[in-house]
Chain A
Amino acid sequence: MGRRFEREIAEDFRKATDLDRISTRSKKQLGNSIIALMLASIKKGISPITGRRFRGYKNPDRYPGRLKRPRPVNLKLTGKFLKSLSARVSRDEIILFFRGRKSNLIEEGHRKGANSQRKRPILPQGEETFSRSIRLAIDKKLQQIIDKTFR
Chain B
Amino acid sequence: MAKIAHKFDPFELVGEEKPRNHRAISREICDFVLEEVLNHVGDAKSPVRNGKWKSSLSKEYKKQKSKKSGILKANMELSGDMLDAMECVLTSDGQVELRIDGKEGDKADGHNNHSGRSNLPAREFIPKPDQTFKRGIVAGIKQIIKESQDG
Contacts and interface: CB of A to CB of B under 8 A. Distances in A.
Contacts of B34: 51-52
Contacts of A44: 38-39, 42-43, 75
Contacts of B16: none
A101 B34 CA distance: 35
A55 B42 CA distance: 15
Interface string A67-99: 011111110000000000000000000000000
Interface residues of A, number: 22
B71 A72 contact: yes
B36 interface: yes
Contact of A69 (B39, B68, B84): B68
Interface residues of B, number: 26
Interface in B41-82: 42-43, 66-71, 75, 77-80
B28 to A, nearest CB: 6
A113 interface: no
A141 to B, nearest CB: 13
15 contacts: A44-B38, A51-B35, A56-B80, A69-B70, A70-B80, A71-B68, A71-B70, A71-B80, A72-B42, A132-B28, A132-B32, A132-B144, A133-B36, A133-B39, A133-B140
Q: Which A-B residue pairs are the 5 nearest by beta carbons?
A: A44-B42, A51-B35, A132-B32, A71-B69, A69-B70
